[in-house]
Structure 1
Amino acid sequence: MSSTFSFRFEKVSTKKVSEFIREQLEEAIILKELMSEEQLPSERELAEIFNASRITVREALSTLEDKGLIEKRVGAKGGTFVLPLTANSHKRTREEIKRDWEQMLKVFEFRTIIEPEAAFLAAERITAGELELLEAYMEQSIEPHCTREWFRALDVKFHLTIAKASGNPYCEAAVRQIRTKINPALDLMPYDDRIRSVNHGIHMEILEALKAHDSIKSRETMKRHIEFSADAIYARLVSESDDKEGNEN
């Protein structure tokens, strides 16, 4: 006898262990917790960390290498190293992002719900130590010799610190998920003094609102920042691409 349910179950999927390993390493790289030129632990050490076989780890690393996220080097100073995402972002072409734009819009929609509310909570709960961290990130991001890769890393650290300061682990997990989705698009954005100045200005507004423990202003400023970011990505990666196609036809 078959039963009809008014709700839908999710079908079982058999994800390989190597995929779980690959996902965790890829997230750490995309969120710049593993930085450019940082050497990964050996296959043996990774196998111990993940409680998996070296063959499984090797399979995960091979996938990351195919994606242009890591590079295996031989010689006395050999090993597996993280490649700079901003230098290899062409691996995720504009065409790929444009093709998935409807999905990206859903991520930004989710972001406009989550991050402003995380900022609202953070304004009430943020610690002195977390405020010091945010200030340090701000200072480093405006330094004349701040590289593109480090600037992008500081941006991620700024947002993840606010999410953590919300005191809600579900908010923090959601922001990590969001940043993993949008960072490849952000890494394709231009980098110059004007971009740094604009980013510094809005981040400073958010920081000042957090320091004042002004929940409403923290929420509103974060929402404005996110909306501006989404528009900038669209203008750079989607609208600009459409214009080029139109001119070519």
Structure 2
Amino acid sequence: MVSPFFAQFKEVTPKRVSDFILEQLEEAIILKEVLPEEQLPPERELATLFKASRLAVREAIAELEQKGLIERRLGAKGGTFVLPLTAKTHQRTIQQIADNWTQTKELLEYRSVIEPEAARLAAARITPEHLAYVRDLVEKSSGEDCNREMFRSLDVKFHLEIARASGNSFFESAVRLIRTKINPGLDLMPYNREIQLASYEQHRVLIEALAERDGDKASKTMHMHVHKTLAKLSQFVE
């Protein structure tokens, strides 16, 4: 008799090379590591980077275009350009987020455990150079000329850098996964000067805790910060 344990195994599904390329490019765009209006390298260069065929690259690019993440432009200044994600929020509805709310809520709960502990480790391990870098990210996010897309980009970078400063690759990978999954939902949230400055103040307090090497303060500040995001998104969706 076959043990019931084996019934838990998942079926094998075929995965094309283009899917691997798509996942990496999509993650970079969602995490805003490739910024809006930035041009992607030509297919030939991407094929070399990924060590894949141009056909596989072309299929991945076509899927990104279908998702509304990039735009192919013709002419002398043509090419493949990244589109602003937050400018596309009107194409998604609250209902779409609500339909996936169970998973999103679980990710936000997971985030409320992972990021505070990453911040605790970062307080002990962050270097002066890394601290100066994240401080610069926070200061840039407070400027009056910081539009919605740039604000979202700086916010993602800030949280990823705190995870990186923890010195633990598992924390960094976890935060990347979480942000890749929840960013489309966060992009739906309102943005104005008041929200911008409130976020800046929370990030500033966290920077102080890191500078003071106060792990408990860093952890508590991060926990409060991510819990507020969960609460706001819950009000927005439920």
Question: Quick one: distance in 2 between partners of 1:213 and 1:49?
Answer: 39
Alignment of 1:67-78 (within 5 A): 67-78=67-78
Match of 2:163 in 1: 163
Matched, 1:21 2:24: no
Question: Quick one: distance in 1 between partners of 2:32 and 2:5?
Answer: 43
**1:47·1:53 contact (CA, 8 Å) conserved in 2?**
yes
Q: After superposition, what is the alpha-carbon deviation per residue over 1:44-66, rounded to whole angstroms, capped at 9, x for unaligned?
A: 11111111111111111111111
Q: TM-score, length-normalised on structure 2?
A: 0.96
Match of 2:50 in 1: 50
Alignment of 1:1-249 (within 5 A): 3-4=2-3, 6=5, 8-236=8-236, 238-239=237-238
Q: After superposition, what is the alpha-carbon deviation per residue over 1:84-136, rounded to whole angstroms, capped at 9, x for unaligned?
A: 01101233322111100011011011111110110011011011011101110
Compute the displacement of 1:234 (Å).
1.8
Mean CA deviation greater in 67-76 or 182-191: 182-191
Question: Quick one: distance in 1 between partners of 2:121 and 2:227?
Answer: 20
**1:68·1:91 contact (CA, 8 Å) conserved in 2?**
no
Question: Quick one: distance in 2 between partners of 1:213 and 1:9?
Answer: 44
**1:67·1:91 contact (CA, 8 Å) conserved in 2?**
no
Compute the displacement of 1:5 (Å).
5.5
Tell me, what secondary structure is at the counterpart of 1:145? coil
Fraction of identical pairs, as percent: 54
One-letter identity of the residue aligned with 1:214: D
Question: Quick one: distance in 2 between partners of 1:113 and 1:230?
Answer: 12
Aligned CA RMSD, in angstroms, stands at 1.2
One-letter identity of the residue aligned with 1:85: L
Q: After superposition, what is the alpha-carbon deviation per residue over 1:207-228, rounded to whole angstroms, capped at 9, x for unaligned?
A: 1111111101111110110110
One-letter identity of the residue aligned with 1:226: V
Q: TM-score, length-normalised on structure 1?
A: 0.92
- In structure 1, runs of 5+ residues without a counterpart are 240-249
- In structure 2, runs of 5+ residues without a counterpart are none
Compute the displacement of 1:190 (Å).
1.4
Question: Quick one: distance in 2 between partners of 1:160 and 1:41?
Answer: 24
Tell me, what secondary structure is at the counterpart of 2:80? strand
One-letter identity of the residue aligned with 1:80: T
Question: Quick one: distance in 1 between partners of 2:82 and 2:134?
Answer: 25
Mean CA deviation greater in 138-147 or 20-29: 138-147
One-letter identity of the residue aligned with 2:62: S
